Amino acid sequence: MTPDNPLEDITVEVVCTANAARIVGFSERQVRRWCEDGTLEGAERRAGFHTKWLIPRAALAKIPRKLED
């Protein structure tokens, strides 16, 4: 951190909905629902040709993992 830019060292690792779904073991559709309803704190919608969600990895830690059948 430098006096010129105190936020210089702050980094947040984000993942897309597909990677988030793999991490938590739920469908990508369910992850998108969580983004839309605010369950995944800090998720940001990025508009473009395809709408994308950027999800902080830390938000995924709060989601219980799906039990294997």
| CB atoms inside a 10 Å sphere around CB 5 | 9
User: Which pLDDT does position 63 carry in this prediction?
Assistant: 84
User: Which pLDDT does position 62 carry in this prediction?
Assistant: 85
Distance CA 68, CA 36 (A): 26
pLDDT (tens digit, 9 = 90+) per residue, 18-54? 999 999 999 999 999 999 999 999 999 988 777 789 9
Question: The pTM is what?
Answer: 0.73
pLDDT of residue 69 exceeding 50, the answer is: no
User: Which pLDDT does position 47 carry in this prediction?
Assistant: 81
